[in-house]
Amino acid sequence: MRAHATGATPTAIAVLDRVSVRRYATGQVILDDIDWTVGAGQHWALLGANGAGKTTVLRLIGALMHPTTGTVDVLGHRLGRVDMRELRAHIGLVSSAQKVPLDATAHTVVLTGHTGTVQPLWRTYGSKVRDRATALLAELEIKDLADRAYGVCSGGQRARILVARALMADPSLLLLDEPFNALDLPSREDLIDAMHRLATTRAGLATITVTHHLEELSPAIGHVLLLKEGRVLTSGPAEHVLTGEWMTQCFGRPIEVSRHEGRWLARSGRVRPAKP
């Protein structure tokens, strides 16, 4: 059973059609028969237990790998028929695992998003590019960090710097791979607020957020895809997918889901042992 979105269909930003991924060496099935469409301006959460295939799906949409079978179209280009490096330049990616020089200033880190490099390529950063980096820091409300070394910034500040860096290419698609990893409560809330502002001010921007915690989803998240053991369990509007029934099926233990002022909360009840 799958839930489906209703209403007018937006322009497709990413389309996975009957996609499967297998490891050739072992024959292990990572993804099996995945169908998924992300529309312009939609904000999706990608949820599932460890090993469900979330990272692989994100790598496909991020033009970092090809499927074993099926087709993947991103920003109107089909993987296998396009230069993956050029396509990646138009996709924003935020991950806590990204390598960034710790001694570089926040402004410099954001500048590297223009060239998609780890180290800055100073000759390519004209005044307009530098001004754009400054404007993005201001948009993420961290302009005061411009001259601060990335390595001494807090986890939440680093996360927002990486979001600003990802926006340098003015992407239509922004991928967030567990961006809240290891953030404390205030830092988490700052990042959630920032993502909510982006969703309301950038009408055409589509986002996909991978996380393990419903509490990390901003009120802007309107759609959810649940993965289980490499297959789509269900997908569709958040209010149809984020239910105790679906979450219990997805994670294999009793889960209660509630919502307050647009924010989601999940808690797991005690698993009672079977009667002898």
The pLDDT score that the predictor gives to residue 23 is: 85
Q: Are 34 and 18 within 8 A, CB to CB?
A: yes
Sign of the dihedral through C-alpha 12, 218, 187, 211:
negative
Q: Burial, 40: exposed, middle or buried (Cβ in 10 Å; 0-12, 13-18, 19+)?
A: middle
State the CB neighbour count (10 A cutoff) for residue 229.
15
Do 237 and 3 meet the contact criterion of CB atoms below 8 Å apart? yes
Give the global pTM: 0.89
Which distant-in-sequence residues (6+ apart) come within 8 Å of 204 by Cβ? 40, 41, 172
3-state secondary structure at position 50: coil
Q: H or E stretch including 195?
A: helix 185-201
Q: What is the pLDDT of residue 3?
A: 40
- Predicted local distance difference test score (pLDDT) of residue 274: 58
Measured from the Cβ of residue 76, the count of other Cβ atoms closer than 10 Å reads 13
- pLDDT score for 9: 62
Instruction: Please name each of the domains of the chain with its CATH number.
Output: 11-90+171-183+204-267 (3.40.50.300), 96-170 (no CATH)
11's CB contacts (< 8 A; 6+ apart) are: 39, 40
pLDDT tens sequence for the chain (276 residues): 334 444 456 799 999 999 999 987 777 899 999 999 999 999 999 999 999 999 999 999 999 999 999 999 999 999 999 998 889 889 999 987 788 899 999 999 999 999 888 888 888 899 999 999 999 999 999 999 999 999 999 989 999 999 999 999 899 999 999 998 888 899 999 999 999 999 999 988 999 999 989 999 999 999 999 999 999 999 999 999 999 999 999 999 999 999 998 899 999 876 565 565
